[in-house]
């Protein structure tokens, strides 16, 4: 659907029936070229902060469809209405779907999170606070799943909690779930049952600094490799203690 306008404009004999402002059928006029260049610039700008391939693809397709709708509207508003209807029908019939990323996660409620933190304080928890309605949370979700699959051990575990569903947890851990919140999502590392590191963080002006939750940034800023090595040491000590018993 994102390429429909280009196909109709360039493929004969269909293109000969398309309206042409400059009189040359089957070619792009200057205004169409301008819209195409603007689309490319917009895609590059919007995808600079993309944290996953899924987010990049989804963003590119969305803006391409918006540009196509504008191009069809320029030819005839009726074309644009039909095109938008086709996009909605396609989305209903064949919804966007990406392969599920393997994950090793525990999904918490407001009570089970605190219980997990208190149950065994030797366990380091990395918890994502998210909401189901936040597009940014959806784009970051594959990154968190990949990290859990790569780093999870007996003493380094990963969890998620929907603070839209459990507002008490949002209040307890200081994460805002409002529609204007700059804290969605929030990653918090808990050691010995206490929060020791988190992103995003407050800046000098007491406002939250925008954070790009790419896998590379999270690994570096949270010291994931160090946490993983420490968890392996704990595992060895536990096994050694079992043998001595």
Q: What is the CATH number of the domain that holds 228?
A: 3.40.30.10
pLDDT given at position 107: 93
Given 37, 67, 93, which residue is the final one in a domain?
Answer: 93
> Torsions phi, psi of 128, nearest 5?
-100, 125
pLDDT given at position 239: 66
What average pLDDT does range 59-77 have in this prediction?
87
Cα distances from 205 to residues 182, 201, 209, in angstroms, run 14, 11, 9
Q: What is the value of pTM for the model shown?
A: 0.68
pLDDT given at position 243: 54
pLDDT given at position 74: 87
Contact (Cβ atoms closer than 8 angstroms) between residue 150 and residue 217: no
Look at residue 186 and tell me whether its pLDDT is greater than 80: yes
Contact (Cβ atoms closer than 8 angstroms) between residue 3 and residue 10: no
Same domain, 114 and 82: no
Same domain, 161 and 186: yes
Residues in CB range of 126: below 8 A, 6 or more apart: 147, 148, 156, 157, 158, 159, 187, 188, 189, 190, 222, 227
Q: Judge whether 99 lies within some domain.
A: no
Same domain, 109 and 55: no
pLDDT given at position 134: 85
Same domain, 77 and 119: no
- Residue 241: pLDDT band by 50, 70, 90 thresholds? low
pLDDT given at position 144: 92
- Residue 245: pLDDT band by 50, 70, 90 thresholds? low
Residues in CB range of 234: below 8 A, 6 or more apart: 122, 154, 155
Look at residue 188 and tell me whether its pLDDT is greater than 80: yes
pLDDT given at position 219: 93
> Per this entry, what is the length of the chain?
245
Q: Can you state the percent helix, strand and coil of the chain, rounding each to 5?
A: 55, 15, 35
pLDDT given at position 240: 62
pLDDT given at position 95: 64
> Would strands 156-162 and 105-108 be described as parallel, antiparallel, or unpaired?
parallel
- Residue 126: pLDDT band by 50, 70, 90 thresholds? very high
Q: Give pLDDT tens digits for 97-115.
A: 555 667 889 999 888 999 9
- Residue 120: pLDDT band by 50, 70, 90 thresholds? confident
Residues in CB range of 228: below 8 A, 6 or more apart: 151, 153, 156
pLDDT given at position 160: 94
Q: Judge whether 100 lies within some domain.
A: no
Mean pLDDT of the chain: 84
Range of the domain at 146: 105-244
Q: Judge whether 163 lies within some domain.
A: yes
Same domain, 141 and 169: yes
With b for 16 or more beta-carbon neighbours within 10 A and e for fewer, the 31-48 pattern comes to ebeebbeebeebbeeeee
* Total domains, the chain: 2
Same domain, 237 and 130: yes
What average pLDDT does range 162-176 have in this prediction?
90
Same domain, 187 and 74: no
Q: What is the end-to-end Cα distance of the chain in Å, rounded?
A: 66
Same domain, 45 and 117: no
Q: Judge whether 98 lies within some domain.
A: no
Same domain, 113 and 231: yes
104, exposed or middle or buried, with CB in 10 Å at 0-12, 13-18, 19+?
middle
Same domain, 88 and 111: no
Same domain, 29 and 63: yes
Q: Which helix (H) or strand (E) holds 28?
A: none
Both structure tokens of 198: 């988190």
């Amino acid at each position: 659907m994102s390429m429909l306008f280009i196909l109709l404009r360039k493929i004969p004999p269909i293109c000969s029936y398309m309206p042409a402002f400059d009189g040359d059928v089957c070619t792009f006029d200057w205004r169409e070229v301008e819209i195409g260049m603007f689309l490319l610039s917009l895609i590059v700008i919007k995808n600079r902060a993309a944290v996953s391939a899924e987010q990049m693809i989804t963003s590119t397709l969305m803006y391409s469809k918006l540009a196509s709708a504008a191009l069809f509207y320029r030819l005839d508003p009726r074309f644009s209405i039909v095109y938008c209807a086709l996009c909605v029908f396609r989305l209903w019939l064949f919804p966007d779907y990406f392969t599920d990323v393997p994950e090793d996660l525990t999904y918490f409620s407001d009570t089970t999170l605190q219980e997990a933190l208190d149950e065994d304080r030797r366990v380091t928890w990395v918890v994502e606070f998210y909401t189901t309605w936040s597009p940014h949370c959806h784009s970051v979700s594959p990154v968190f799943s990949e990290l859990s699959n790569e780093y999870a051990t007996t003493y380094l575990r990963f969890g998620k909690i929907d603070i839209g569903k459990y507002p008490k947890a949002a209040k307890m851990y200081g994460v805002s779930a409002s529609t204007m919140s700059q804290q969605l999502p929030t990653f918090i590392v808990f050691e010995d049952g206490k929060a020791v590191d988190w992103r995003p963080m407050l800046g000098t002006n007491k406002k939250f600094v925008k954070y790009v939750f790419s896998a590379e940034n999270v690994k570096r800023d949270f010291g994931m490799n160090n946490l993983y090595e420490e968890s392996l040491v704990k595992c060895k000590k536990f096994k050694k203690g079992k043998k001595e018993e």
